[in-house]
Amino acid sequence: MSLKILPIRKSSEFNAIGNSGQKFFLKNLIVITKPTASFYLTSSKKNLQKTAISQDTALDIVLGNSQTNCQTTSQTSNHKHSQDIDISKKTLQPIFEEIKTISSQQIANNQKKQIFCRAGFTVSKNISKLANIRNLVKRRLREALKANVENLSEYQDYIFIARKDILKSQYQELVKDMTFALQQIKKNNQKHVNTSKPRK
């Protein structure tokens, strides 16, 4: 299952991570990281729960709409057979049970896919006053991150801040710097998990 990289865009989030995150100073960039706030984890679960609830109430909503439509049809139509249509709950229940089963499977699949980390990139005017150069540096940072997907941790926030030397460095040097920082972060996270486990 692939790890999704979600963007960090809000300046308030950049500030929050920058103020309390763990920092790694490298030749080409600074990496700041901290675990993803629980808000983002719980909000995604709540959205899935809301979807599940809506599936449970779908049958009653559709039945209500169908009965209303049939009452309107019976009043306006001259054909008697429109009044004899059976839209009872017993008749439609098997159909909607199948729909709910499919929807439950989709919700389960969505829950499995909620494995992500978040990343943001900062390239200040100290690097270059030219916007096209700053955009180029951001693209290089993104590509270096894609090359390091296997070194990313789940439910972790990352901020990558470009340093002046990045303009002179080769792409592989940037990838190497990022690899070193991400591997250290992953090791620290694993150590934290191991030390937090109760001893037998």
Contact 162, 28 (CB under 8 A): yes
- Confirm if 22 and 32 have CB atoms less than 8 A apart: yes
pLDDT in the model for residue 2: 83
**Sorting pLDDT into bands at 50, 70 and 90, what band is 159?**
very high
How far apart are the C-alpha atoms of 167 and 81, rounded to whole Å?
Answer: 78
How far is residue 169's CA from residue 3's CA, in Å, rounded to a whole number? 28
What is d(CA 153, CA 174) in angstroms, rounded to the nearest whole number?
A: 19
Instruction: Identify whether the C-beta of residue 200 lies closer than 8 Å to the C-beta of residue 160.
Output: no
Q: In the sheet that 156-162 helps form, which strands lie side by side, from edge to edge? A: 4-7, 116-122, 156-162, 29-35, 22-25
Q: Is residue 45 part of a domain?
A: no
Mean of pLDDT over the chain: 78
Strand partners, 24: 31
Q: Which of 168, 156, 178, 175 is nearest to 22 (CA)?
A: 156
Question: Which pLDDT band holds residue 38 (cuts at 50, 70, 90)?
Answer: confident
Q: Is 11 inside a domain boundary?
A: yes
Q: Using 50, 70 and 90 to split pLDDT, how confident is the model at 82?
A: very low
Same domain, 103 and 141: no
154 versus 41: which is more confidently predicted?
154
Residue 101's pLDDT is 58
Residue 114's pLDDT is what?
A: 74
Q: Are residues 128 and 179 in the same domain?
A: yes
200 inside domain: no
Residue 141 near residue 26, CB atoms below 8 Å: no
Number of domains observed in the structure of the chain: 2
- Residue 199 included in any domain: no
Q: 167 pLDDT band (50/70/90 cuts)?
A: very high
By the 8 A CB rule, do 118 and 56 touch?
no
Percentage of the chain with pLDDT > 90? Answer: 52
Same domain membership, residue 103 and residue 87: yes
Average pLDDT over residues 152-169: 96
| pLDDT classification of 28: cutoffs 50, 70, 90 | very high
Whether pLDDT at 11 is above 80: yes
For 39-74, the pLDDT digits (tens) are 887 755 555 455 444 445 544 544 555 444 445 445
- What percentage of the chain exceeds 70 in pLDDT? 59
In this structure, what is the dihedral angle of CA atoms 127, 128, 132, 138, given to the nearest 10 degrees? 0
Q: Give the domain range for residue 175.
A: 4-40+116-193
CATH number of the domain residue 16 falls in:
3.30.230.10
- Summarised one tens digit per residue, pLDDT across range 98-153 is 555 555 555 445 545 579 999 999 999 999 999 999 999 999 999 999 999 999 99
127 phi and psi angles, rounded to 5 deg = -75, -50
| Amino acid at residue number 39 | F
13 and 34 fall within a common domain: yes
Whether 181 and 126 share a structural domain: yes
> Do residues 126 and 173 both lie within one domain?
yes
**Residue 175 pLDDT greater than 60, yes or no:** yes
SS3 content of the chain, % helix, strand, coil (to 5): 65, 15, 20
